[in-house]
Amino acid sequence: MTKTPTLKTPRRRLPVLLAVFAFAALILAASAWAATRPNTVIHYGPVGTVSSHRATFHVASSKPGYVQCKRDARAWYKCTSAASGFVTLRNLRCGSHTFRARGVARSGLKDLTPAVRTWRIRC
């Protein structure tokens, strides 16, 4: 009759194995967080009808990187070099305007649902 070998792990190795598994789980969680897209918000800016031909906004992204902005039908442009900051639009014409902001993570992922602020300048 043959005896089946058994695997014995000394008790002092068990904490090391648990630490390795915990570290691997941490790395997986961090890489999953890095693969998510940023969320962008506009904290400050004109609302409703205003008389000023200048508008200042405070924009912020949930991920490290920078923020792109867009006014009305114009193209997107880099408006902050950090994940948050103030953006000022000058020499605005009378009428309705729409300002959009989207975060761009360091990985290059962009917010697919930009923050939007619409207001009107009264003349």
**What is the average pLDDT across 114-118?**
97
Q: How far is CA 84 from the centre of its chain?
A: 10
pTM for the whole structure = 0.71
pLDDT at residue 113 above 80? Answer: yes
The three-point CA angle 9-11-14 to 5° equals 75
Whole-angstrom CA distances from 67 to 5, 107, 108, 110 are 61, 13, 11, 9
Better-predicted residue by pLDDT, 4 or 69: 69
Q: What is the pLDDT of residues 13-37, one digit of tens each?
A: 666 655 665 666 655 555 544 568 9
What pLDDT sits at residue 33? Answer: 47
* Dist CA 116 CA 47 (whole Å): 11
Q: What is the pLDDT of residues 36-93, one digit of tens each?
A: 899 999 999 999 999 999 999 999 999 999 999 999 999 999 999 888 899 999 999 9
